[in-house]
Amino acid sequence: MALAGVMERPWAGFWLFAVAHAAIWIALPYAFYPNLPLDLIEALTYGQEWQLGYDKLPPLPWWFVELTYRTFGSDLALYCLGQISVLAAFAAVWALMLRIASPAAALAAVLIIDGLHYFNFTSPKFNHDVIQLPFWALAGLALHGALRTGRVTHWMMLGLSIGLAFWAKYFVVILGLPFALFMLIDARARRSLATPGPYLAVAIALVIVAPHLVWLVDNHFAPFDYLRARAQPFDALSDHLTRPALFALVQLFWLLPVFAIALPLFQRPREADAMAADDYDRRILAVLAFGPAATVIAMSALSGRGLVSMWGYPLWLFLGAWMTVWIGTRIEASVLARIAGVWAAVTAVYAVSFAADYAVLPYYDNRYRAVLFPGEGVAEEIATRYRAATGRPLAYVIGNVWLGGNIGHYAREQPRTLIDGNPRRAPWIDLADLARQGAAVVWTEDGRNAIPAIYAAVAGNAAVQTPIVLPMRRGGGEVSIGWAILAPVP
């Protein structure tokens, strides 16, 4: 890495880092994922319907996946989405750092947080967690600018980013609460409440989310059932303490590589005047770095609802910036070189682990990996046999999101899926048209010779066919798919 250029040119380091990061984390899944992961299959299943809302989560990432696939027609383009999201978030962190520190400090802040597996190892599985990253980071950048300058444009950007983050994932509430509390508690930040800025931001956010809010009301807040199922209620009073504490410990474990990359910062004496940041900047950074994490832990403890470790995805975006500014060390070329060296080592460990997990370990362990599923083979077998039996192309699949979605993506007809055979989960499916064109009913074969009960209401008279058995794409094991033909009815 040309460290001298990084020290002199504000964005040089970012683009060097961005190229390296993108090259690694786009190439690895493209090389080692023979099948699209579950999140992308799910996105293609839902996204093609272009709804204002779905029964699980907001629609924005699914729209992006569908638009990307329609535009480029390539699985490689779908792997690019995750890295575009990550790097857009990092760019916002970088831009904030340039306001209060040197380009070298900005690069250090980004290299530090890239040690978190959310931003590399798991980011190719583009989903609601990944898409929220740029909006959270943009909100942090906007909040800092708004509180420091009071400019209307910063408040407008804050409202825009919060509104779009809501379309990405409802988890944005965890971001908005500490922002609001900080403006109420901090004496200097509280002055902004006497200006139009915060209210303009709220108004813009509400305008942006209004269509989805209307959809939520019209659909009786259907996605919240999924959220309640994910956040399981506590069983005992002690869980109010132990379960949030366990979430915090898991996050600390995943942050160990981050601390390792940051270690060179702490090997020099602290210099209070080494940064342009003042105490107000540090307070804002502290809110950005720790406010959302503290909020989600407190809400879990108070509400009695559990947490999922992957919800930590956006919580630590500004941790590297806070570390760099808090320690106050002037980032010289030697310090930056050590940080970059540790980052390279951590990245290499992640990359080797990624390759081993999907190319080597499948031959030795029995763990199921969705990306090794023979989706293309299943889709070809089902579609070919359906055409041979009915003389018609396959227009519909009745099955779960995974099986139906794989067939929908890999079969040349790209049939639509009646998810779980439940019209409430896929209200966009015209059941009369499904009856006219027919459908393939699919399920994971477990020795049954009858259609699963959950599909009986819409496909009870479908003719069960010989199961399809195919090997996994890599390693041992095989999959057995039961299926049936719901014959077209003119």
Structure tokens given for 226: 């999924």
Interval 89-96 mean pLDDT: 97
Question: Could you read off the pLDDT of 395-429 as tens digits, one per residue?
Answer: 999 999 999 999 999 999 999 999 999 999 999 99
Look at residue 13 in the predicted model and tell me its pLDDT. 84
Weakest mean pLDDT among 231-245, 401-415, 466-480: 231-245
Count the domains in the chain: 2
pLDDT of 1: 46
Return d(Cα 105, Cα 193) in angstroms, integer: 32
Note the pTM of the prediction, 2 decimals: 0.93
Q: What is the 3-state secondary structure (H, E, C) of 227-290?
A: HHHHCCECCCCCHHHHHHHHHHHHHHHHCHHHHHHHHHHHHCCCCCCCCCCCHHHHHHHHHHHH
> Do 341 and 425 fall into the same domain?
no
Last residue of a domain, one of 359, 386, 415: 359
Q: Per-residue pLDDT tens for 310-340? A: 889 999 999 999 999 988 767 888 889 999 9
465 occurs within a structural domain:
yes
Specify the pairing of strand 439-444 against strand 478-486.
Answer: antiparallel
Indicate whether 116 belongs to any domain: yes
Q: What is the extent of the structural domain holding 395?
A: 373-486
What pLDDT is recorded for position 270? 60
Instruction: Answer with the one of 291, 326, 359 that is the final residue of a domain.
Output: 359
Which H or E run contains 399?
Answer: strand 396-399
Residue 202, pLDDT > 50, answer yes
Looking at the structure, tell me whether residues 296 and 430 fall in a common domain. no
Rg (C-alpha) for the chain, rounded Å, is 25
Are 470 and 409 within one domain?
yes
354 and 327 part of one domain: yes
Q: Is residue 368 part of a domain?
A: no
* Same domain flag for 21 and 156: yes
* Percent of the chain scoring above 70 in pLDDT: 96
Percent residues over pLDDT 90 in the chain: 79
**Vertex 72, ends 69 and 76: CA angle to 5°?**
80
How far apart CA 401 and CA 425 sit, in angstroms, is 10
Sequence-separated (6 or more) residues with CB below 8 Å from residue 435: 486, 488, 489
Tell me, yes or no, whether 317 and 442 share the same domain. no
Residue 64 maps to a domain: yes
- At residue 275, does pLDDT exceed 80? no
381 shares a domain with 355:
no
Angle at which helix 75-100 crosses helix 319-327, to 10 degrees, equals 30
Cα(272)–Cα(270) distance, integer angstroms: 6
Examine the domain organization and report whether 318 and 425 are in the same domain: no
Residues of the chain by 3-state class (helix, strand, coil), percent to 5? 65, 5, 30
pLDDT at position 375 over 60: yes
98 and 232: one domain? yes
| Band of pLDDT at residue 475, cut at 50, 70 and 90 | confident
Per-residue pLDDT, averaged over 288-299, amounts to 95
Report the distance separating Cα 26 and Cα 107, nearest Å.
21
CA distance 127 to 293: 20
Q: Answer yes or no: is pLDDT of 272 > 80.
A: no
Q: Do the domain assignments include residue 447?
A: yes
Co-location of 391 and 348 in the same domain: no
Say if 367 falls within a structural domain.
no
Instruction: Return the bridge partners of 314, or none.
Output: none
Note whether residue 90 is domain-resident: yes
Instruction: Return the pLDDT at 5.
Output: 59
Q: What's the rounded mean pLDDT across residues 186-204?
A: 96
Do residues 211 and 75 both lie within one domain? Answer: yes
Same domain membership, residue 382 and residue 350 = no
Instruction: Examine the fold and report which residue of 334, 359, 384 is the final residue of a domain before the chain moves on.
Output: 359
Asked if pLDDT for residue 271 goes beyond 70, the answer is no
The answer as to whether 365 is a domain residue is no
